[in-house]
Chains A and B, each alone.
Chain A
Amino acid sequence: MNIVVLVKQVPDSGSERKLDPADNTVARASADNVINEMDEYAIEEALTVRDAQGGEVTVLTVGPDTATDAIRKALSMGADKAVHVTDEAIHGSDAMATSAVLAAALGQLEYDLILCGAEATDAQMSVMPALLAERLGIPQLSGARKLTVEGETARIERQTDGGYWAVEAPLPAIVSVWDTINEPRYPSFKGIMAAKKKPVETKSLADLGLDAGGVGLGNAWTRVLDFAGRPPKGVGVKVTDEGDGAQQFVEFLAAQKIV
C-alpha cells in the first residue's frame, strides 16, 4: 500500500496572521509557520493503514524552503520519505494553480491512497480533494471521520450535519480527514532522530515538466484586489452580575428587538 500524504505549512492560527501589502499574498516570511493542524490527523491515519497493511508513506508538500519544518514533523511522526516541491515561480498561486502543481507531482509518484487534512487553517477552502480528484481522474472521499481500507476498496464515513454519509470507492482514491478521525501521535525522540536521515527529494517546476507561465501570482485564476483590517468593534457594555445580570441581558435583547 503506497500512501501519499499532502501536507501544508501555514501561519500559526494562534498568532497574528497578515497579508503582505506588496502583493496581497499571505505574509509567510514574518509568520510563525507550522504544519497545518488537520494534516497531522491525515499523517496519523496514513501510518495506521501502513502499519496494518504494509507499504510506504510519502509526504508531499508544495511551499517555500521553510516548509521543510513541516516535512520534518511528518517524518518524525513516522512517515518514510518526502517530496518537497519548491520554486520561486509558485509564489502567489491560487487553489487552481496549486492543484495543478500537486497533480503533476502526484503523477510522478506511485500511490494507492492519497490522504490530506479536510481543511487548512489559512485559506479554509476545503477544496483540494475535489480539485485533485478532478485533475487525476480518481474518486474523491472527502470529509472523513472514519476510514476503512479493504483490498481494493476504501470506505469512509463522511461527516455531515447531525450524522454521516457512508461512501465507498475503488483505489486509488483521495481521502480528506477531520480531527474526529483519530488522535495524532507525538513524535518520539527516536522518531525525531530517525527523521533526520529520511530522504527528502526536492523538485522544481521544471522537474515536474511544468511551465512557470502556468502558475504563480501573475497566472492565477483569481486575484486579490485589496484588503483591509476588519473595523474594530465599538466598545460593548459589560455588567457584573449582582443578582440582576439576567435581567440586564434580557433588557439588552429587548432593546435589540430580539425578544
Chain B
Amino acid sequence: MSGEAGFFTSRLDEAIGWARKFSIFQYPFVTACCGMEYMATACAHYDVDRFGAGLPRFSPRQADVLFVVGTISHKMAPVLLRIYEQMAEPKWVVAFGVCTCTGGFYDNYATVMGIDTIVPVDIYIPGCPPRPEYVLDGLLKLQAKIENQHETGERSAPEPRPEFSV
C-alpha cells in the first residue's frame, strides 16, 4: 500500500502517526535493577510525560509499548512472550538496558541472551543501567518510528540478529 498511497491516505497516515507518537501507553515489564532508572526517568525530574508517555498501564491489553526493563531469565521468557501476545496491535517493544539487548554481562544457564530471541524489538537502549538521557533519546527514536509507521501496521522488518558462536 505504501507505494501507491494517494494524497488523502498519506495525510491520514501522517495525522495518525502524529497522534500516536504523543500517546504512548507503556507497559513496564520490570524485572531488575534497571527499574530504578526507569522510575527516575518517569518521575518529575526527567518527566517522560513531556513526550506523551507519562501513563504506564498495568494491563498489557491497554498498552501499546512494551518496556522490557531488566534481565529476562529462561524461566521468565514464556511470561514475556505471553505479555507481548496479549497486547493489541499496533504495538512496539523497547529493550531497556544491556541485559534485554544482549544478555549483558550474564553468560550463564539462566539468562536469555537478548529478548530479540523471543519477541521483535523496535528500540534498543543499552546501558547498565541506561541514564535517563539515553532513555529519553530512545523514546524520541521510538516516536520517530511510530510516526513513520503506516496506518496498516506495516513496518520494516526488524534487523536480523547476527550469528555468533560461543
Same complex: no
Residues of A within 8 A of B (CB): none
